[in-house]
Structure 1
Amino acid sequence: MSDSQVETVEKEKNDIADDAASYWMEAGYSEGGVLRKVDYAGLAKGLPKELEGIKIVDTDTHIVESPDIFANAPVGLKDKLPRVVRVNGVDRWKVGDRDFGSLGGNVIRADHQKLLGRLSFPKLEQGHPGAWQIKDRLQAMDDMGVYAQICFQNSGVTQAGSLMSLGDNELAKTVLRMYNDASIQRQEESGQRLFTMAHLPIWDKAAMEAEAERVLDAGLKGFVLPDTPERLGIPSFNESYWDNFLALCNDRGAPLNFHLNAAVNPDGMVWKGFEFEQVLSVVATMYSICNSATIGNWIVSGRLDQFDKLKIGLIETGIGWVPFAIEALEHQFREMMGACKVQPKRRPWEYFHDHFKVTFWFEEYAPKHMLDKIGINNVMFETDFPHPTCLYPGVQDHIVKVLGDHPYEVRKQVLERNAVELYNLPF
């Protein structure tokens, strides 16, 4: 690389290393917001008759990393591992003197009310205990009529960019290993109802491959990755660096998950001078739509011909944008790909239907009217519990509203079987 390219990569790495400190914007904890009164007893009715016999899988939820997750530290690392410190009334992760950001989003109050217009309650104990405690989480799931949940991290303390910036490879790998161990234990203690996606030390090829095999052998169901690792100075997915890992996922049916990590950063699309609520409204919307870049990158790469059983979940994406995105790729294939050295063997719609699954929560039009076009086998359901804009309360009312006119077999496919297939769930 040229000096300017090296400088650009280093800047990107430094920017991403700082992401954890601002993982949830400070304004998200400021005074304000609106508390939505929730008739929890009236809404916590479990499954309605229209959905009886369906084990609903909520494919996007978040587990707040418990403050004691790193308590059983290996010898010599106890004082180095992340710890929770209350700073100006906000619970935050610290590693040494480094601020790794807040504990993440939880807008469901301990008494079931919902905070609107903010990212979280500042203190762990103010939020719903189901955000981090298994027994309370399972009760909340039962009340919502949800059988199983796919879980993702809630803070920035396990993100690759932040860990790489520590300059301590053993410490960084230990953080991820302990996170994955906690995920394995949670899955077992939940009775195989809470399935947390594994994190990997993607900056260390040998360690990444070893940890990937270890956690699959231990029963974890997939991985969450950044969709543009080159921003971290790590080779792109179209380079040989990833071959062994992708072959492992391809052969064992372990899905890659890209959780709102669109290849386009929407922060730069927001007008200057906006208030916090305005910024988040635009950014959250654009994150979903920009997943078309993620699909496009994989489809044109040739990787899906090389690894023809690879499964990819685009999580917290929404689904209504998919037909336009794939039609646009179909057009570009006709217009642009003829002269390309990489000649895909299939068309964009075929790649999408063969490899991808997307998720909906708040949408009404797309799940009512677009399932046939998007693909009944390609759509999953989520709530994003307990994050801002999560589908709470009234989960079952919304499901019946948007899927109630579809045949029972379609409801079961979207709400249960697609997730079971993607994540190899044991039911």
Structure 2
Amino acid sequence: MDTEATFPLIISVDDHTVEPADVWQSRLPKKYLDVGPRIVRAPLKEMTFLGGRFRPVMGEPGDDGPLGDWWVYEELRRPLTRLDTAVGYSRDEIKLEVITYEQMRPGSYDVPQRLADMDVNHVQSAVCFPTFPRFCGQTFTEAQDHELGLLCVQAYNDWMVEEWCGPQARGRLIPLTLIPLWDAELAAAEVRRNAARGVRAVAFSEIPPYLGLPSVHGDDWDPLFRACDETGTVIAMHIGSSSRMPSTSKDAPPAVGSTITFANCCFSMVDWLMSGKFERFPNLKVMYAEGQIGWIPYILERADVVWEENRGWGGVADKVHRPPSELFAEHVYGCFFDDAFGLRNLDAIGVANVLYETDYPHSDSTWPKSREVGEAQMGHLDADVVERIVRGNAIELLGLTPEGLWSRT
């Protein structure tokens, strides 16, 4: 196909927003403003990122060290870093360092500037995961005051729907909301509250037990899964949404974890396929953001073998009644931005189960050349296949308009 002439406008299912400083300060009750999330400019004392663990230490006023903007919430001190928003910098200039809002690309937090950067990148629409709350709201789950945490979740969702994806976005930004992970009933209520205003995606943890939460194998999450099943809300799981990036040792450099970022997605998908949830909730859909897709064929092959040969003693015979690969085809979506190997093995994954992303504004992002990357990697595919991967599957999954835009109705 002539991709240069026909490459479709991209719908990215995994971008990110850096929340403006006033998201919570303008929405929380007055009594919580001194403990709720707020921005403080302060020096960095030290910061490490080893063994998959990020450990920053905030200095005191007057201390030596580079100045950065820090989110302060209860006892948490979390700086904005160059890894939060790296687009516009050469790969060799991207370091683990604190930054201020003035030192990031405005499209990271400003809607009109984001739309302009999407135009540069041949992107029509985008789903954006959070930054300060972390990829599924772990920040609020780990907080001491869950009454405040629930208000913070709701405030974020209100900002996401009403401002980030509000009128000025013109339907080009697609809402992804959070839930209070510590209470499945409250989580279900928040899914329904947002579904009533057109939201069709909610963030969840790839491996909840890593957060001290129940696994998907029991019944604890059923109220949430039922709400998603009944409202057509997609469960979106981003790498790192377990607060534990894959690594091999405490002293392994970040490059080790960066190479194997897909690993938690792999483990998570096996959990879901062997959980029986897809048979209990037939409308449930899950997607793995930034997990790439090249690893999927072998996992499906192995899962089918285990189900066929070992289900009697493997503990799944009474709840998984169909081959896992069939369940995958109906319920699971892999997301990629740079995976030539996966695209060469698309027949073993399924054209209908693949979504495209750009990861703006992270250091891995293909911005501003997402179109060129897509053209290079999808040039061997028929035009209708490229159309489905780049936008058609996302339109169907997220309930977008035929034009690829989000609408409240």
User: Smaller-chain TM-score range?
Assistant: 0.7 to 0.9
**TM-score of the pair, normalised by structure 1:** 0.81
Which residue of 1 is the match for residue 189 of structure 2? 210
> Cα deviation per residue 1:214-273 (whole Å; 9 max; x = unaligned)?
11112222111112323334332232222222112112221101101477955541473x
Which residue of 2 is the match for residue 30 of structure 1? none
The number of residues matched between the two structures is: 371
Q: Does 1:297 align with 2:252?
A: no
- The separation in 1 between residues aligned to 2:135 and 2:39, in whole angstroms, is 14
Selected match of 1:359 from 321, 330, 335: 335
Selected match of 2:226 from 226, 229, 247: 247
More helix by share: 1
- The separation in 2 between residues aligned to 1:144 and 1:161, in whole angstroms, is 30
Q: Is the 8 A contact 1:59 1:151 kept in 2?
A: yes
Query: 1:75/1:415 Cα in 2 relative to 1: closer, same or farther (>3 Å)?
Result: same
Deviation at 1:164, TM superposition (A): 3.6
- The separation in 1 between residues aligned to 2:210 and 2:342, in whole angstroms, is 33
Which residue of 2 is the match for residue 57 of structure 1? 11
- The separation in 1 between residues aligned to 2:178 and 2:399, in whole angstroms, is 18
SS of equivalent residue, structure 1 residue 60: strand
Which residue of 2 is the match for residue 10 of structure 1? none
Which residue of 2 is the match for residue 131 of structure 1? 108
- The separation in 2 between residues aligned to 1:416 and 1:293, in whole angstroms, is 27
Selected match of 1:77 from 32, 41, 57: 32
Residue correspondence of structure 1 range 320-331 to structure 2 within 5 A: 320-331=294-305
SS of equivalent residue, structure 1 residue 84: strand
Q: Does 1:184 align with 2:161?
A: yes
Q: Does 1:197 align with 2:171?
A: no
Selected match of 1:92 from 66, 70, 78: 70
- Provide the alpha-carbon RMSD of the alignment: 2.3
Residue correspondence of structure 1 range 32-43 to structure 2 within 5 A: none
Selected match of 2:86 from 101, 107, 110: 107
Deviation at 1:331, TM superposition (A): 2.2
Higher alpha-carbon deviation: 335-344 or 309-318: 335-344
- The separation in 2 between residues aligned to 1:231 and 1:160, in whole angstroms, is 14
Which residue of 2 is the match for residue 6 of structure 1? none
* Aligned-partner residue type, residue 232 of structure 1: L
Q: Does 1:234 align with 2:213?
A: yes
Q: Is the 8 A contact 1:108 1:115 kept in 2?
A: no
Structure 1 spans left out of the alignment, 5+ residues:
1-46
* Aligned-partner residue type, residue 124 of structure 2: Y
Q: Is the 8 A contact 1:85 1:93 kept in 2?
A: yes
- The separation in 2 between residues aligned to 1:159 and 1:395, in whole angstroms, is 25
- The separation in 1 between residues aligned to 2:17 and 2:75, in whole angstroms, is 25
- The separation in 1 between residues aligned to 2:258 and 2:296, in whole angstroms, is 17
* Aligned-partner residue type, residue 331 of structure 2: H
Q: Is the 8 A contact 1:66 1:132 kept in 2?
A: yes
- The separation in 2 between residues aligned to 1:203 and 1:392, in whole angstroms, is 35
SS of equivalent residue, structure 2 residue 112: helix
Q: Is the 8 A contact 2:210 2:244 kept in 1?
A: no
* Aligned-partner residue type, residue 16 of structure 2: H
Higher alpha-carbon deviation: 187-196 or 377-386: 187-196
SS of equivalent residue, structure 2 residue 333: strand
Query: 1:115/1:134 Cα in 2 relative to 1: closer, same or farther (>3 Å)?
Result: farther
Higher alpha-carbon deviation: 300-309 or 224-233: 224-233
Which residue of 1 is the match for residue 124 of structure 2? 147
Which residue of 2 is the match for residue 21 of structure 1? none
Which residue of 2 is the match for residue 426 of structure 1? 401
Query: 1:262/1:334 Cα in 2 relative to 1: closer, same or farther (>3 Å)?
Result: farther
- The separation in 2 between residues aligned to 1:262 and 1:296, in whole angstroms, is 16
* Aligned-partner residue type, residue 210 of structure 1: A
> Cα deviation per residue 1:273-321 (whole Å; 9 max; x = unaligned)?
x5xxxx2221022121332111100111111111122100011011111
Which residue of 2 is the match for residue 395 of structure 1? 370
Which residue of 2 is the match for residue 307 of structure 1? 281
Deviation at 1:207, TM superposition (A): 2.1
Which residue of 2 is the match for residue 29 of structure 1? none
* Aligned-partner residue type, residue 399 of structure 2: N
> Cα deviation per residue 1:59-88 (whole Å; 9 max; x = unaligned)?
110000111111323232222211111221
- The separation in 2 between residues aligned to 1:249 and 1:391, in whole angstroms, is 31
> Cα deviation per residue 1:185-226 (whole Å; 9 max; x = unaligned)?
221231111113111012123322221111111222211111
